[in-house]
Structure 1
């Protein structure tokens, strides 16, 4: 699983929580390194923050173009509205989670 978020605290907390849940976690602190990781690793799950220097939507599009339905992409956003959700889903995201992400959603992913 790949997690990309430019907030170090969020990145650490999500990575630790998901690792405790049995996931093998790789992290990136922005969208650009998350995209670069696609050259050297294959991820089944990609969890990205929407608002980073290189947008989470750019990351989602890259992974969906590369792996199609073979990768589950979820976007984290602080915005809870239909426009944001629609934009994320149109980019190829399978799910949109509003920050903070509840523990039940982390277990479900």
Structure 2
């Protein structure tokens, strides 16, 4: 059974390119464009990993990450934060809230695929 990825980003070009590459790598993919949609999609689709943008409408990625980590029913969910905020302080905040990794934009889409493969044990 293929692993499921939820891509959460409010930039359509990023969503399209990541969705294409994740599907090409054999993953099932769902998408969301804001924090509220992300939380609903986690409940609905039960993803194995979330690619989570930090700066989004409604709830930002930090809030979503924290809310997901507070849930006892999601102990194995992997979270990779994607952001244009590359300062160490932002990275530390994301990791302290429970993100498994933190990738700064602009990023190589292949690097993101490699990180997903690594976190899900596909490599």
Q: TM-score, normalised by structure 1?
A: 0.91
**1:95 Cα shift?**
0.3
Residue number in structure 1 paired with 2:111: 104
Normalized per residue, which structure has more helix? 1
> Structure 2 residue aligned with 1:23, among 21, 27, 38?
27
User: What's the RMSD between the two structures over aligned residues?
Assistant: 1.4
Q: Which runs of 4+ in 1 moved over 4 A?
A: none
Which residues of 2 match residues 87-102 of structure 1 at below 5 A? Answer: 87-102=93-108
**1:106 Cα shift?**
1.7
Residue number in structure 2 paired with 1:3: 7
In 2, Cα distance between equivalents of 1:47 and 1:95: 10
Aligned residue pairs total 109
SS of equivalent residue, structure 2 residue 75:
helix
**1:91 Cα shift?**
1.2
- Structure 2: 5+ residue stretches without partners: 117-123
